[in-house]
Structure 1
Amino acid sequence: MDQIFQKIESTDLRPIREIVFERLRKAIMNGTFQSGDRLVETSIAEGMGVSRTPVREAFRQLEIEGLAENLPRRGTIVKGISKTDILEIYEIREVLEGLVFRLACTNISKVEISDLKEKISKMEQSIDNNDIKEYWRLHGEFHDIILYLSKNNRLIDQMKQIYEYLSKLRNFTLVMNKRRNAAMEEHEALVKAFEKRDEILAEQIGREHTINAKKFLSKEIHLF
């Protein structure tokens, strides 16, 4: 927990409550704080070198996100991430990512299609080399290219939040490594839909991509 209680640097110009919230949120997602743990306002405030006010504000935000709850005589308790939470996120992602792929299909150029093909080729190489870290770096770049091609700022913000949320879950990457080969086939099918300028097919592939991941996760969710 040392990283949670480091002093907030004076060079970080973001609002204090935002920094405190981000650190606590990350600690819950990566398993530093477990479900049932009590968040002690004074300890966190002293550790980060801040007043108790931004810590209380961060606690309220955690409650809004469903990551913590305030219980009588117990204080703020970590709820953690449940199987239901993860599957609900995937239900939302299915709809939004399908929309991302449809919009991207209308905006994509031949150069960008070539970029996506290159990313797929490099991902395949990383799989052959068993370079998991490189695979996930390229995977992120692949999806970022498509996301920004949607040219819908609100949609981009929503999807970035979902991607970040999932990437920080303890064991998420470990579990999804088992689905890499199937995911690669879906990536290739998506690029073919882009080449055909078939936005309906692109959206369908996007939704199926997420549905397949959700089905896989529902079987592996005990690892979280």
Structure 2
Amino acid sequence: MTDIKFSNTTSLTDDIVDILRDRILKGEYVIGEKIIENQIAAELCVSRTPIRDAFRQLEYEGLIDYIPHRGSFAKGFTRQDMEDIYSVRKALEQLAVEWAIERIDDAEIEKLQEQMELMEFYTKRKDCEKVMDINVAFHEIIYSAARSRFLAQILKSYQDYVQQARRATVSDEENLPVIAAEHKDILQAIMLKDVEEARNRIGIHLDNSKNRATIKWHIK
């Protein structure tokens, strides 16, 4: 019997997609490994129907290759994937921080300061999970302050991939002080309303994040 708990707020298919996506991105299925419907259905104690639906979604996302008469195979996460996603993320987040500086209000700046204080506190305690949650919240405040529904939708579309990269880097305690310092630099630039410095600092942070994730995952 599996000890996986399914959500009460999302569909069974969505839950299975999340489980399999997480495994593929973490490398639990190596690139080219066959993923067998019957085995997944037996493990999760579900019928094959939501498994098939989940496979179709993951094929659409580019994480599974379906080959007729052979089955479904993990595509995994390659160095090129890492390069691409961080290039896209860097361009979008530099735009987000630029718009945020133009549109942010005092309450949002205060929220960023609060998140920064929490990040420093939990960094000293070496609490990786807390730092990761705060990291997410910090960036989401910037997204919200940009006041663009279209940009927010694009940023949301790749958060599953970003979250795996965050988890890979933030889960290493030795990275925590550097990550905190990078966020502090971003915050200071926002508070000074220095667009060029904020774009530069968020670019440095994301370049470093990409390097940390590549090393952590041993991506080739």
The two structures have a TM-score, normalised by structure 2, of: 0.80
Superposition deviation, residue 190 in structure 1 = 1.9
SS of the residue 1:168 aligns to? helix
Note if contact 1:98-1:203 (Cα within 8 Å) is conserved in structure 2.
yes
Percent identity of equivalent pairs: 27
Cα 1:13–1:174 shift into 2, 3 Å: closer
Pick one of 194, 197, 204 that aligns with 2:193.
Answer: 197
Superposition deviation, residue 76 in structure 1 = 0.6
Pick one of 121, 125, 128 that aligns with 2:117.
Answer: 121
Corresponding residue number in structure 2 for 1:106: 102
Distance 1:195 1:220 in 2: 32
SS of the residue 2:65 aligns to? strand
Superposition deviation, residue 117 in structure 1 = 1.9
Distance 1:62 1:68 in 2: 6
Counterparts of 1:166-177 in structure 2 under 5 Å? 166-168=162-164, 172-173=168-169, 177=173
Q: Which amino acid aligns with 1:158?
A: I
- Higher mean C-alpha deviation, range 16-25 or range 121-130: 16-25
Cα 1:45–1:185 shift into 2, 3 Å: closer
Counterparts of 1:32-111 in structure 2 under 5 Å? 32-45=28-41, 47-52=44-49, 54-71=50-67, 73-111=69-107
SS of the residue 2:73 aligns to? strand
Query: Any runs of at least 4 consecutive aligned residues in structure 1 with deviations exceeding 6 A, and if so which?
Result: none
Note if contact 1:67-1:78 (Cα within 8 Å) is conserved in structure 2.
yes
Distance 1:210 1:88 in 2: 12
SS of the residue 2:158 aligns to? helix
Corresponding residue number in structure 2 for 1:2: 2
Note if contact 2:35-2:74 (Cα within 8 Å) is conserved in structure 1.
yes
Any gaps of 5 or more consecutive residues in structure 2?
none
Superposition deviation, residue 97 in structure 1 = 0.9
Equivalent residue pairs, number: 219
Distance 1:48 1:12 in 2: 19
Distance 2:113 2:200 in 1: 20
Superposition deviation, residue 67 in structure 1 = 1.3
SS of the residue 1:77 aligns to? strand
Cα 1:122–1:22 shift into 2, 3 Å: closer
Note if contact 1:29-1:170 (Cα within 8 Å) is conserved in structure 2.
no
Corresponding residue number in structure 2 for 1:184: 180
Superposition deviation, residue 31 in structure 1 = 4.1
Once the two structures are superposed, residues 182-203 of structure 1 have per-residue CA deviations (whole angstroms, 9 ceiling, x without a partner) of 3323322222222222334322
SS of the residue 1:69 aligns to? strand
Distance 1:223 1:13 in 2: 32
Note if contact 1:69-1:79 (Cα within 8 Å) is conserved in structure 2.
yes
Q: Which amino acid aligns with 1:151?
A: R
Superposition deviation, residue 214 in structure 1 = 2.2
Any gaps of 5 or more consecutive residues in structure 1?
none
Q: Which amino acid aligns with 1:49?
A: V
Cα 1:175–1:158 shift into 2, 3 Å: same
Distance 1:108 1:135 in 2: 23
Q: CA RMSD in A?
A: 3.1
